[in-house]
Amino acid sequence: MPRNLDLTAVRSFVTVADVGGVTRAAGYLNLTQSAVSMQIKRLEESLGMQLFLRAARKLALSPEGEQLLSYGRRMLALNDEALSRFAATACGGEIRLGVPHDVVYPAIPGILKRMSQAWPCVRINLVSSFTVLMKEDFAKGGFDVILTTEEAPDPGAEVLGDRPLVWIGAPDGNAWQRRPLRLGFKDTCIFRPRAQAALEAAGIPWELATGGESEQAVEATVAADLAITARMAGSIPDGTAIIASENQLPLLGDMKLALYRANTRKDEAVEMLMAELRCAYAC
């Protein structure tokens, strides 16, 4: 009697192999770690072979696992292609996504490309704005999904994790050593109050070198070594670098990354977008 491979288990196996661990794969797939482990176990039992070398210090595929990975990729690609092709006539519309400017790179371009390939009939309208403004618009129904950077996400938000807030300036610059310390921030930047409070608590005089809402003006001023600013680690603009101040600048603590999804959006395209955002910002 013909047997069939469980594509859900195959997807979990391929994801574990791709991201290098069960925990990260669980976050990407929006499953529990135990659920992913159980799917891998059942897949191994159905095939009668071990897919991972569990005695290895880090996760490694067995020879049989390497062979299945090649088949698995092709099976999933055909499955996803077929679903996208036949869903094209039934799907449509758009997903309104909001992401703060300072965390758009490097993850969002790749996410948008993969979403376009998987859901060619769905338009993603990306808006880059401030967390406070996006949350206001989200509450009014202006967004389907928003990613935020904030100290205390609202109840109902999915907290992806914490990232340290760091001081950045021009590579090999010395603006951070001057007094008063010149700061580059947009007027509504959520990091600005924390940075100013930390400097005042440390007794470091400061002044603003920029005003308004132009991110380009802030980045240009900082890259020219005329000021410093604060960013979340992992989202440092080109032309700038984390300042190694040897404790001469105060620590800024952590900020939280959080996801908000409209209750009206439960469709598969939004589910995939949420999974992509989790993998990029929580794994």
Q: Which domains does the chain have, with CATH numbers?
A: 7-87 (1.10.10.10), 93-283 (3.40.190.290)
7 has pLDDT over 70: yes
Rounded-to-integer distance, Cα 222 and Cα 226, Å? 6
Model confidence at 3, pLDDT cuts 50, 70, 90, reads confident
**What is the distance between the alpha carbons of residues 257 and 149, in angstroms, rounded to a whole number?**
5
Can you point out the beta strands (E) in the chain?
A: 94-100, 123-129, 145-150, 158-169, 181-183, 206-208, 229-232, 241-242, 254-261
Q: What is the pLDDT of residues 72-102, one digit of tens each?
A: 999 998 988 787 666 655 566 889 999 998 8
Looking at this protein, which amino acid is placed at residue 59? L
Give the pLDDT score at 199: 97
Confidence at 59, pLDDT banded by 50, 70, 90: confident
- Tokens 């008063």: give the residue: 180
Q: Give the Cβ contact number of residue 124 at 10 Å.
A: 18
pTM listed for this prediction: 0.67
Calculate the average pLDDT of the chain.
90
Q: How high is the pLDDT of residue 90?
A: 54
Please give the pLDDT value at position 265: 84
Q: What is the predicted pLDDT for the residue at 24?
A: 86
